[in-house]
Amino acid sequence: MLSARSLFEEIVGNDDSFRLFCSIAASGEAQGGWENGRIAALLPASMAALAPKVARHGTDEDKHGRIFQALMRKRGLTPAPVPVETDYTALLERRGIGLTHDKLRREEPLTELDIITYLSHSRVTEERASGQMLMLTKYFGDHPELGRAVRMISDDEDNHLAYCHEELLRLARAGHGRTIQRILRECARAEIVVYRDVSLAVMAHMGRILKWSGSKSAALAAGIWAVYCYERVAGWRRMVSLRMPERRNALGGPATPEPEFA
């Protein structure tokens, strides 16, 4: 029976597919770490109080990248080249979502609108990350090789999502509510397209590595398209809602140390 659990177990159980999975994840986390680090350094003076939280966000993302690298090293694997069609962050940037790398490479302070854009983009992408890590924790939380890593990353992603909710609500109360909602909708609608395309590309690569049958690959692609259709009609709304999180000031303290294997 084809299920999400059996699919991930198959990917994790093969060194080549596991290598590609970890390489894609590590690359994305490293990009997120760099982006948040640059944003923390370029915050406008009016938002300087956010700097420790943005920097903590970047530190967490860097840590996640190192954890995925460590998981490969434990198996004696080296990182694989990341196919361009699986680069979630770059594809979002290409669609004009978030802050461009060109802007972040400059030594010019960002504007308040830039930070609202960053937080809105993060709120949408962290919703996706939190959901994915919750699923991996469900399937692999007790796994002897992966359990500690996925639990730690999942907890961090929940903190990141809570931070985005809290900061965006604060900015909404300061009069930016309409701008926030507009940017959230733009980000969500673009993200579900990029997520669909990346998912199809990743599954195509995994299918070639694992020698899936045509019918299995077609069934997985149909499932990805079904998720996309649901999100396009109604599911995107969960990405644009804002609510005060149970975890308050989620990024206000020191980062959690990495597991010793990392």
- Mean pLDDT value across the chain: 93
pLDDT at 257: 65
Domain parsing of the chain, residue ranges: 15-239
- Give the tens place of pLDDT for each residue, 186-219: 999 999 999 999 999 999 999 999 999 999 999 9
- Give the tens place of pLDDT for each residue, 226-244: 999 999 999 899 999 999 9
- Binned at pLDDT 50, 70 and 90, residue 261 comes out as very low
15-239 — its CATH code? 1.20.1260.10
How far is Cα 157 from Cα 140, in angstroms, rounded to an integer?
A: 16
209: nearest Cα among 96, 89, 56, 86: 86
Residues in Cβ contact with 72 at an 8 Å cutoff, skipping those fewer than 6 apart? 18, 19, 22, 23, 26, 78, 79
DSSP letter for 253, please: S
User: Count of alpha carbons within 13 Å of 79, Cβ hemisphere only?
Assistant: 15
- State yes or no: pLDDT of 253 exceeds 70: no
pLDDT at 6: 87
